[in-house]
Amino acid sequence: MELSDSVAVAQARAGDSGAFRALVERHSRHLFRLAYRMTGHQQDAEDVVQETFLRAYRQLAKFDDRASFGTWIYRIAANCSLDLIRARKRRGAQAEPAEEGAPDPMQALPDPAPAPDRLAMSGEIESKVAAVLDGLSEMERSAFVLRHYEGMCIDDIGRTLGVQPNAAKHSVFRAVQKLRRALEPLVSSAS
Amino acid sequence: MNHLTEEQFVMYYYGEGDGSPAVRAHLDACEACRAEYAGLQRVLNVVDSVPAPERDASYGAQVWGRLQPKLGGRRFWWQAMAPAPRWAAVGAVALLVVAAFLAGRYYPKRDTQTAKGGQVRERILLVAVGDHLERSQAVLLEVVNAPAGEPLDVAGERERAGDLVAENRLYRQTAARTGDTRVTSVLDDLEPVLLEIAHGPDRLTPEEVENLRQRIEGDGILFKVRVAGSTVRHREEKARPAAGQNTGQNSL
């Protein structure tokens, strides 16, 4: 029978590595997606997932049983992603738009295959979205990713990022505003 | 009639706030706002359509496979009570590792056996330094990940930082002696932060936490420690198959 998160956490705290493994296997894919959306880079996302579970393992004693493990680990993953983005900015390196050897994200688009001009437009939009997301502040990007892609409500975003709900709301709003300013001309010409 | 604000459009799109029926009613009645809202929907739908790479069902097991060696049968720190003897023992082991490494390095080499011994010692030292960096990173992370605006109990971290300072000096001197400038530089940067934690109070005020966090993040110390740790681990892994060969390399 599958362990609930709270039971798995209790057992992991008691030193049961199998219980911690269950938590890792349950949450990894979701965390990878979040980390990818936040960092825009597959390898960075892999590192974030790894780092998130290492931190969680070390901080398991501090986890409040009344809270949701999912929200807690999300918060850690968001913080790991922010650390990585900050470090990357400090190094002056920007996320690469596409990784060498990585599967072409265009392949994930639905069939039938679009016409070449349509495909080029999609690629342009995709690059533009990536560029705008890269240009957002750390808080704007995190709040937007959690709201838009992860469907988290504003209150939970505030809790996850450790800010007041109002600050989370404004970050989402500013992110959308910037996306809209940058993408609207492109979207209008495509439609 | 007042038109809807951009913020109202955004919150309505995400189903946030309690004003949704009023916004809906306004949209039904106002063509200009309807057009404006449709524009927002188009943009956000496009953003939504950008795919993220998916990982398959075995991904969790793969993550665990990479993670498990790093947890390495180590006990949770709260299970490892009586930390002083434990960390004192770690310090003693560090001293032995360094002493053995330096003895092997500076005594005259007589034959190939000596060279092989040097490679083994190098590996042991790399493992020890990698472990030191990992434990230092764990202390720094406690501060960096602390909730903003709240005091932080760092009694455990203080004790660990105190032990790490002694080890840090030893490894830094060894790295400097062997000409490993990169590791020397990271350990140089790390030491003042460890000292600050070790000599600070058991309970930090929110301001003290913030100052420490800014120092760690501003100087990129956590990042440097993480990169150095990963480089050292990588070198240790590379040194493994070469342990039986004579490369003559003996730097940290």
User: What's the CA gap between A58 and B136, in Å, rounded?
Assistant: 13
Over its length of 191 residues, how does chain A's per-residue pLDDT go in tens digits?
567 898 999 898 888 889 999 999 999 999 999 999 998 889 999 999 999 999 999 888 888 878 889 888 988 998 888 888 877 776 664 444 444 444 433 333 334 344 445 445 567 778 888 889 888 888 899 899 999 988 889 998 888 888 899 999 999 999 999 999 998 888 776 65
Which amino acid type is present at position A2? E
| Predicted pLDDT of residue B83 | 42
Contacts of A21 in chain B (CB under 8 A): 64, 68
C-alpha to C-alpha distance for A12 and A21, rounded to whole angstroms = 9
- The Cα of A126 is separated from the nearest Cα of chain B by a number of Å equal to 6
Report the CATH number of the A108-191 domain: 1.10.10.10
Please tell me which of the candidates A28, A36, A58 has its beta carbon nearest to residue B52.
A36
Local confidence pLDDT in tens for the 252 residues of chain B: 588 898 889 999 988 876 678 888 898 899 999 999 999 999 998 888 778 888 998 999 999 999 988 875 544 444 444 344 444 555 666 666 666 666 655 555 555 555 565 666 677 778 888 888 888 888 888 888 887 788 888 888 888 888 888 888 888 888 887 778 888 888 888 888 888 888 888 888 888 888 888 888 777 888 888 888 878 877 777 776 544 444 444 445
The answer to whether A66 contacts chain B (CB < 8 Å) is: no
pLDDT attached to residue B100 = 65
DSSP A87-143: HHHHTT----SS-TTPPPGGGGSPSSPPPHHHHHHHHHHHHHHHHHHHHS-HHHHHH
Q: Which of residues 38-97 of B touch A (CB under 8 A)?
A: 39-40, 42-44, 46-55, 57, 59-61, 63-64, 66-68, 70-71, 75-79
| Of A138, A87, A125, A167, residue with least CA distance to B51 | A125
> Nearest C-alpha of chain A: how many angstroms from B230?
11
Q: Does pTM surpass 0.80?
A: no
Q: Is A63 on the interface with B (CB under 8 A)?
A: no
Distances (CA, A) of A19 to A76, B52, B68, B72: 19, 29, 12, 15
Does the distance separating the beta carbons of A58 and B141 come in below 8 Å? yes
Mutate which: B8, B77, B131, B141, vs A, most A CBs within 10 A: B141
> What was the pLDDT predicted at B104?
59
- SS3 annotation, B195-220: HHHHHCCCEECHHHHHHHHHHHHHCC
C-alpha distances out from residue B177 to A120, B101, B105, B167, B174, Å: 57, 11, 10, 15, 5
What pLDDT is stored for residue A164 in this prediction?
Answer: 92
Q: Which of B44, B60, B75 sits opposite A24 (nearest CB)?
A: B60
Taking an 8 Å cut-off on Cβ atoms, the answer to whether A61 and B220 are in contact is no
SS3 content of chain A, % helix, strand, coil (to 5): 75, 0, 25
CA distances from B57 to A22, A25, A28, A32, A151 (A): 13, 9, 10, 12, 22
Residue A130 tokens, joined: 């990536």
For chains A and B, count residue pairs whose Cβ atoms are closer than 8 Å.
136
- Taking the Cβ of residue A32 and every Cβ of chain B, the question of whether any pair is shorter than 8 Å is answered with yes
Residues 101-120 of chain A with CB under 8 A from chain B are 102-103, 105, 108-109
Position B112 scores a pLDDT of 54
| Contact: B46, A58; criterion CB under 8 Å | no
Does the N-terminal peptide bond of residue B85 adopt cis geometry, omega within 30 degrees of 0? no
Interface check A60 vs B, CB under 8 A: yes
Residues of B with Cβ-Cβ distance to A59 under 8 angstroms: 142, 145
B10 → closest Cβ in A109, A153, A172: A172
Chain B contact for A43, CB < 8 A? no
B11 in reach of chain A (CB within 8 A): yes
Q: Where do you find CATH 1.10.1740.10 in chain A?
A: 1-93
pLDDT, one tens digit per residue, over A30-86 is: 999 999 999 888 999 999 999 999 999 988 888 887 888 988 898 899 888 888 887
- Judged by DSSP in three states, A158 sits in helix
Reported in sequence order, the residue ranges of B15-174 that DSSP labels E, i.e. its strands, are 152-153
Contact residues on chain B for A177, CB-CB shorter than 8 A: 6, 10
Q: What residues does CATH 1.10.10.10 cover in chain A?
A: 108-191
Cα–Cα dist A77/A69, whole Å: 12
ipTM exceeds 0.85, yes or no: no
- Whether the CB of A54 is below 8 Å from some CB of chain B: the reply is yes
Residues of A within 8 A of B145 (CB-CB) are 55, 59, 76, 79
Q: What pLDDT was estimated at residue A50? A: 94
Domain range A1-93, its CATH number among 1.10.569.10, 1.20.1250.20, 3.30.9.10, 1.10.1740.10: 1.10.1740.10
